Amino acid sequence: MKDTHHQVPSKAAFKITPKHVDSNGNFSKLELLERAIKRDNQRLHRLSTALTSPNEVGYAPIFGRHGAFLVTLAIGTPPMTYSAILDSGSDLIWVQCQPRSYSSKLPTLPIFDPQNSSTFSKVPCSSDMRRTYEGSKCDNNSCKYLVNYGDRSSTEGVLATETFVFDQLTVPKLGFGCGNENKGMEEAGLDGIGRGQWPVISHFADQFGQFLLLLNLRFLKNPYNMPSFYHLSLEAITVGDTLLDIP
């Protein structure tokens, strides 16, 4: 989508090239279909839960876990590179962090160690940043978060700020979740680009005065109880070249 009314400074522009989560796997066509159906079912469960879940501080929402695309980002000073699930329905970026509990140990994943970064900082309980993230709670002047997923996996840790690098753009003091208790996780982390208060998009809008997410799509107004999602109108359904006759 081309916007002719805004010009984004080149130093504030970056490009993310997502990679399909199954692109490096040696899957058969049947396995690819089964994995796609599993992701769709988890997303349906996630959306259904969001419609009926209470909206209160301390509540840990339930999300679908297996996203379809991965993105590469770098975290910390000096930076460490990760592949994270790209999720347009989540507000929070999180990565697996040291120290980890026993249940979190997956040796093949890169693990972020805050002690090796000079720019890592925990979010204090008095911070406005903490109050904008639903589901957080204060413990020993640290903001704790918990996210549960539909397959009973979860991530739990502290809210913090850190320097992130997206493409060639360096973003200091970006809020994220540093996960120390990650159960059943197969990913190094998740990159939330939802429409809520905590994701990358809101941070960029505050830092640069504007932020354009260039998608060739027309979005609808969000329902009050689902502020993080991008809503589309369903015009038609086709199977191959056949348009289904659905009223």
Give me the tens of pLDDT residue by residue for the chain, a chain 247 residues long. 333 334 444 455 555 666 666 777 788 888 878 877 877 776 666 556 555 554 433 333 434 445 567 888 889 999 998 888 877 767 788 899 988 775 555 556 778 999 999 999 998 888 877 766 666 788 887 888 888 766 667 888 999 999 988 777 788 888 899 998 888 767 788 887 766 655 555 555 555 544 444 444 454 555 545 555 666 677 788 888 888 888 7
Query: 142 near 149, Cβ under 8 Å?
Result: no
Burial class of residue 45 (count of CB atoms within 10 Å of its CB; 0-12, 13-18, 19+): middle
Domain 10-217 sits in CATH 2.40.70.10: yes
The answer to whether the CB of 160 falls within 8 A of the CB of 138 is no
Element of type H or E holding 51: helix 29-52
Instruction: Write down the pTM of the prediction.
Output: 0.63
Catalytic residue from among 22, 40, 87, 128: 87
Alpha carbon distance 93, 241 (integer Å): 38
Q: 87 catalytic, yes or no?
A: yes
